[in-house]
C-alpha cells in the first residue's frame, strides 16, 4: 500500500475512533486491501453542495467522523457570519444511516452553541428548505444522496434563505471544513439542550404553502375523481404527497404498495431514480391497471419528480425532464394569463442545459426568462438578486426538478406533483390528455427533442480521465458535428463565448463552471458537463424543427430521434 495511504490508515487505527471502526479497518486490511486503499487514498471532498459518497470507514467515505468534521467546519463559519444567536434546521431521507448522520450533525452543532431544529423523522428535502425560512434559521443540513444507489449517502448544506450554498459562502465553508484536520478538533457532545424536535407543525405550514400555489382550485373540485397513481420509491414523499393531494381536493389517489414503505435498501429498484423506467415500472403497471389519468413518482428525498401519461395509442410512457418542465412552465404562464393574475414583471428561470423551448414559450407570452448555471442554488441566487423588482413564478431544469413559488429555494417534488395533477385536471376539462397538450405545444412553439448521455469513469483516475476529455474539447473543438458546422463555442469555465465562423468573442456573464456548449448552424446544441459529486460526465443534446400539425407528430418525432442518434454517433461517445 502507498505510504501516504498507510499513514492515514494508521491514524485511524491509533486515534480516537470507535472500536467498530478499527475492527472494520483491520478486516479490510486482511480481506479487501484494494477497498481499504480506495477508502483512504483521499479525503471525501466537501464540495460546493456538501458531501456525497459511499458509506463506510475511511477518509473517503460517509461516516460519523467525516460528517462530524464537516459539521464542525460549517458551524465555525456560521458563527463567524452571525455573531449573535445561530439557528439551523436538519432533515434526512430514508437512506441507511441518514438518521444517524442527522443526529451526529445535530449534536455537533448543538455542542457549538447553535440552536438546532431536528425533524422527528424522515422528511423531504424541500420541506427542509421551507423550514429554514419559516423558522428564520441561518443555515441547515439535509442528509441524503438524492437518487444515488443504496451504498451512498450525502450531506447538503443550506444558507439562511433556504438555498444551497453559493459564492462566497460555498468556498468559505469549504475552507473552514478543510481546517478541521482531526476528529479531535470536533465538539461531539455537550449541547443537547440546544436541540428541539420538530415535525407536524412544520408539515402543516408547508402543506398550506403548497396549497396556495394552486391556480385553478375550482377545476380540481369538478375533477376531484381524477385518477392519480403515485410512487415514493421507498422515500420521503410518502410523508407529504398523499396529504398535499388530499388538501388540494383530489380524492382518487392510489399509492404503489410495493414502494410505499421508506427503505434505504430500495428493495424493488437498482437506482431509486424516477428518471429510470425501471424505478417507475411498478407505477406504470398500476397506472395501466387502474386506467389512471397521471402517474407521478418522486426520488428518495422527494425533490425530483417524474410523470407518466398515456400516448396517442393508449400506451403508458414516461415524460422526460424537459417535457415535464415545459408542461409545468407553460401551465403556470398560460393559466395565470387566462385567469387574469399574470403580472407585467413575472419571470421564470431555467438553466443553460435545459430545453430552449421554455425560453420560446416565455418570450411569446411576454414573460422574462433567465438562464443560469445548472443547480437550483443558482435559481435561488437570481431570485434573491431580483427580489422586490421582478415576480418569480417558476424555475426548473431538465433533471426532473421544479421550484414553484418563492417560499422555498430548492427543487420541490411535492408541490410539483400537486401542480402537475392540477394541470392534468385542467387539460381533462378541455378534453385533452397531457400527452396531447405536449404535442399542441410543439406545434405552437417548435418541436424540441432532448437526450442525455452520462458516461461514468470509475476508479482512482476517473476524475482525471474526465478532465482530459474536457480539455480536449476545450482546446480542439470539432469544426462540424453530423454535417452541421459548429457555429459557437461557449466555455463557462473561461466565461467566454466565441463565434467560430467570424472569430467574434464575448464575455459570459455567469459564474465560472466547467461546462462547454457547442451551438451548431442547424440549431442543435450540445453541452458537456462533468458532475461535481461523481466521476461522471454528462452530455446534453437538443435538436429542433417545425411541427406543422399534430397529425405529423410521430413522423417528425422519428426524424428527430434519428438526428440525435447521428449526432451522438458522430461524437463517438
> How distant, in Å, are the alpha carbons of 44, 261, 372, 525 from that of 289?
45, 21, 41, 39
CA–CA dist 411, 391 (Å, integer): 18
* Residue 540, beta-bridge partner list: 452, 527
Distance between CA atoms of residues 498 and 158, nearest Å: 35
User: Catalytic annotation on 281?
Assistant: no
Write out the three cell numbers for 259: 414502494
- Residue 569, number of CB atoms within 10 A of its CB: 10
DSSP state letter for 305: E
Residues sharing a CB contact under 8 Å with residue 340, sequence separation 6 or more, in sequence order: none
All three cell numbers of 204, joined, read: 402543516
Distance CA 468, CA 448 (A): 31
Spatial strand order in the sheet of 368-372: 368-372, 346-351, 391-397, 401-404
In angstroms, the Cα distances linking 336 to 214, 333, 367, 449 are 10, 6, 11, 26
**Active-site choice (98, 146, 163, 513):** 146
C-alpha triplet 173, 174, 178: angle, nearest 5°: 115
SS3 162: coil
User: How far, in Å, CA of 25 to CA of 43, rounded?
Assistant: 16
For residues 408 and 398, what is the distance between their CA atoms, to the nearest angstrom? 19
User: What is the chain's alpha carbon radius of gyration, rounded to the nearest angstrom?
Assistant: 24
User: Which positions ≥6 away from 314 have C-beta within 8 Å?
Assistant: none
State which H helix or E strand residue 507 sits in.
strand 505-507
Burial 479-517 (b: 16+ CB within 10 A, else e): eebbebebbbbbbbeeeebbebeeeeeeebeeeebbbbb
Residue 23: what are its φ and ψ, rounded to 5°? -65, -40
Helix/strand number for the chain, H first, E second? 18, 23
Helix (H, G, I), strand (E, B) or coil at 310: strand
DSSP 339: H
Active site residues: 146
Amino acid at each position: 500500500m502507498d505510504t501516504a495511504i498507510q499513514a492515514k490508515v494508521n491514524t485511524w487505527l491509533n486515534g480516537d475512533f470507535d472500536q467498530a471502526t478499527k475492527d472494520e479497518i483491520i478486516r479490510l486490511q486482511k480481506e479487501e486491501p484494494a477497498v481499504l486503499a480506495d477508502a483512504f487514498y483521499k479525503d471525501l471532498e466537501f464540495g460546493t453542495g456538501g458531501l456525497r459518497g459511499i458509506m463506510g470507514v475511511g477518509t473517503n467515505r460517509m461516516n460519523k467522523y467525516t460528517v462530524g468534521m464537516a459539521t464542525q467546519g460549517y458551524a465555525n463559519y456560521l458563527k463567524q457570519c452571525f455573531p449573535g444567536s445561530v439557528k439551523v434546521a436538519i432533515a434526512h431521507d430514508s437512506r441507511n444511516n441518514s438518521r444517524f448522520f442527522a443526529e451526529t450533525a445535530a449534536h455537533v452543532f448543538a455542542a457549538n452553541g447553535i440552536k438546532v431544529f431536528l425533524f422527528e423523522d424522515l422528511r423531504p428535502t424541500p420541506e427542509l428548505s421551507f423550514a429554514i425560512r419559516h423558522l428564520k434559521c441561518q443555515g441547515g443540513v439535509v442528509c441524503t444522496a438524492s437518487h444515488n444507489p443504496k451504498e451512498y449517502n450525502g450531506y447538503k448544506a443550506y444558507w439562511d434563505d433556504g438555498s444551497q450554498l453559493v459564492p462566497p459562502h460555498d468556498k468559505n465553508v469549504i475552507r473552514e471544513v478543510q481546517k478541521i484536520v482531526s476528529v479531535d478538533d470536533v465538539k461531539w457532545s455537550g449541547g443537547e439542550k440546544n436541540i428541539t424536535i420538530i415535525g407536524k407543525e412544520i408539515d402543516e405550514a408547508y402543506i398550506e404553502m403548497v396549497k396556495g400555489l394552486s391556480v385553478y382550485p375550482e377545476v380540481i373540485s369538478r375533477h376531484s375523481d381524477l385518477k392519480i397513481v403515485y410512487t415514493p420509491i421507498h422515500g420521503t414523499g410518502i410523508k407529504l404527497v398523499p396529504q398535499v393531494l388530499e388538501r388540494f381536493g383530489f380524492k382518487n389517489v392510489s399509492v404503489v404498495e410495493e414502494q410505499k414503505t421508506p427503505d434505504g435498501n430500495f428493495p424493488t429498484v437498482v437506482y431509486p431514480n424516477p428518471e429510470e423506467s425501471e424505478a417507475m415500472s411498478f407505477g406504470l403497471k398500476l397506472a395501466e391497471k387502474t386506467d389512471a389519468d397521471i402517474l407521478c413518482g418522486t426520488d428518495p428525498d422527494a425533490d425530483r419528480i417524474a410523470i407518466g401519461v398515456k400516448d396517442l395509442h393508449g400506451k403508458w410512457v414516461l415524460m422526460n425532464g424537459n417535457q415535464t418542465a415545459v408542461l409545468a412552465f407553460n401551465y403556470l404562464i398560460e393559466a395565470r394569463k387566462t385567469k387574469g393574475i399574470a403580472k407585467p414583471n413575472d419571470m421564470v428561470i431555467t438553466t443553460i442545459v435545459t430545453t430552449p423551448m421554455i425560453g420560446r414559450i416565455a418570450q411569446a407570452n411576454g414573460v422574462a426568462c433567465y438562464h443560469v448555471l445548472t443547480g437550483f442554488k443558482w435559481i435561488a441566487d437570481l431570485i434573491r438578486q431580483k427580489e422586490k423588482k421582478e415576480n418569480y413564478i417558476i424555475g426548473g431544469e431538465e433533471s426532473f426538478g421544479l421550484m414553484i413559488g418563492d417560499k422555498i429555494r430548492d427543487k420541490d417534488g411535492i408541490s410539483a406533483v400537486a401542480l402537475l395533477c392540477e394541470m392534468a385536471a385542467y387539460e381533462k376539462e378541455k378534453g385533452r390528455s397531457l400527452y396531447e397538450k405536449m404535442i399542441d405545444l410543439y406545434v405552437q412553439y417548435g418541436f424540441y427533442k432532448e437526450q442525455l448521455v452520462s458516461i461514468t469513469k470509475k476508479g482512482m483516475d476517473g476524475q482525471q480521465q474526465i478532465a482530459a476529455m474536457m480539455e480536449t474539447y476545450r482546446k480542439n473543438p470539432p469544426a462540424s458535428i453530423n454535417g452541421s458546422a459548429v457555429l459557437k463555442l461557449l466555455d463557462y469555465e473561461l466565461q467566454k463565448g466565441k463565434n467560430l465562423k467570424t472569430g467574434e468573442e464575448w464575455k459570459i456573464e455567469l459564474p465560472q463552471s466547467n461546462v462547454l456548449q457547442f451551438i451548431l448552424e442547424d440549431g442543435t446544441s450540445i453541452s458537456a458537463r462533468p458532475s461535481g459529486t461523481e466521476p461522471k460526465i454528462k452530455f446534453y443534446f437538443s435538436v429542433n424543427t417545425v411541427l406543422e400539425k399534430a397529425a405529423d407528430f410521430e413522423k417528425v418525432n422519428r426524424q428527430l430521434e434519428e438526428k440525435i442518434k447521428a449526432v451522438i454517433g458522430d461524437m463517438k461517445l
